[in-house]
């Protein structure tokens, strides 16, 4: 086992079971966002959590602007972790941009991911003539400029928009502020300007798309697009969850939908 890779991504392994489920966090967060999700799976699954390089308790000295100038660098990190742990045919749960990172992993190494679960994910955030991503290019410019000139004010601005929940906004703001501003800005730029729409039909893993009706980052139209483009995928519009972080705001419903999809039992 290559411990340097596990340290790099601050890999945490728990639970028991023959199959592994990995939970991958979205932009601006870390693996602790799954604290109310993973206990439901530890009795039956081997649970793997990671921090993307530059996030959480990852080894930030491993960050390279060249390696992480696209989502492919993050996807390779996931593959490295899989190989270090000798994993195959796992269940991958990715929130937001992590859903697209999982997409790239599943295409490059189909043996690694058996089931792919996306929560609030988007293949492209910019509006195009024939596509609604939710953002105009000037919106992205303003966000990136704010990150560069006043990172703390940007975190305060984004948190309530993303969470759609006053009680959670303060916690999410604190998570954003805990990041290195320079790394976070590059990750944001890579995320918001990525376009992986053409990759979606290449996904062979059985796929679940969890979508809320009030997601300002990845609106319902994006969830519908994912469903239309990913062969055999299932789209679930969550009933009680709101905002971009249903795994934080409504862990019970999130757990129920994941369990229903992977083992058909619900909770």
The first and second tokens of residue 109, run together, are: 């190494």
78-94, pLDDT tens digit by residue?
999 999 999 999 999 99
Confidence of residue 163 (pLDDT cuts 50, 70, 90): confident
> Does the annotation count 12 as an active-site position?
no
- Measured distance CA(213)–CA(229) in Å, rounded: 19
> Does the annotation count 96 as an active-site position?
yes
Task: Report whether pLDDT(95) > 70.
Answer: yes
Q: At what angle do helices 166-177 and 151-163 cross, to 10 degrees?
A: 140
Note the pTM of the prediction, 2 decimals: 0.95
Query: What percent of the chain is predicted at pLDDT more than 90?
Result: 91
- Let me know: does 81 contact 108? Beta carbons within 8 Å: no
Largest CA distance in the chain: 49
Task: Report whether pLDDT(167) > 90.
Answer: no
245-267, pLDDT tens digit by residue?
999 999 999 999 999 999 875 44
Residue 118's beta-bridge partner residues? Answer: 94, 209
Catalytic residue among 58, 96, 122, 233: 96
> Does the annotation count 249 as an active-site position?
no
Query: 15 in helix, strand or coil?
Result: strand
Catalytic residue among 95, 124, 244, 247: 244
Catalytic residue among 30, 51, 77, 215: 215
| pLDDT for 263 | 86
| pLDDT for 3 | 54
| pLDDT for 148 | 94
Instruction: Tell me what the mean pLDDT of segment 98-122 comes to.
Output: 98
Cα–Cα distances in angstroms (integers) from residue 69 to residues 65, 93, 170, 187, in the given order: 6, 23, 29, 8
Beta strands in the chain (DSSP E): 12-15, 20-24, 46-50, 90-95, 113-119, 206-211, 234-237
């Amino acid at each position: 086992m290559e411990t340097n890779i596990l340290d790099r991504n601050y890999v945490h392994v728990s639970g028991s079971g023959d199959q592994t489920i990995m939970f991958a966090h979205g932009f601006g967060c870390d693996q602790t966002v799954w604290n109310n999700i993973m206990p439901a799976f530890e009795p039956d699954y081997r649970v793997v959590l990671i921090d993307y390089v530059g996030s959480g308790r990852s080894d930030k000295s491993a960050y390279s602007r060249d390696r992480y100038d696209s989502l492919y660098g993050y996807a390779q990190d996931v593959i490295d972790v899989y190989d270090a742990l000798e994993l195959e045919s796992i269940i991958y749960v990715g929130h937001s941009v992590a859903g697209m990172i999982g997409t790239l992993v599943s295409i490059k190494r189909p043996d690694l991911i058996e089931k792919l679960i996306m929560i609030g994910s988007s293949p492209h955030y910019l509006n195009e003539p024939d596509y609604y991503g939710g953002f105009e290019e000037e919106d992205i410019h303003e966000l990136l400029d704010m990150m560069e000139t006043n990172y703390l004010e940007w975190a305060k601005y984004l948190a309530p928009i993303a969470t759609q929940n006053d009680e959670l906004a303060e916690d999410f703001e604190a998570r954003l502020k805990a990041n290195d501003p320079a790394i976070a800005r590059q990750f944001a730029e890579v995320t918001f300007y990525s376009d992986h729409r053409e990759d979606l039909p290449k996904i062979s893993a059985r796929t679940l798309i969890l979508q809320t009706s009030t997601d300002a980052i990845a609106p319902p139209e994006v969830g519908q697009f994912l469903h239309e483009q990913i062969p055999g995928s299932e789209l679930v519009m969550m009933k009680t969850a709101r905002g971009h972080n249903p795994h934080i705001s409504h862990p019970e419903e999130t757990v129920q939908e994941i369990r229903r999809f992977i083992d058909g039992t619900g909770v």
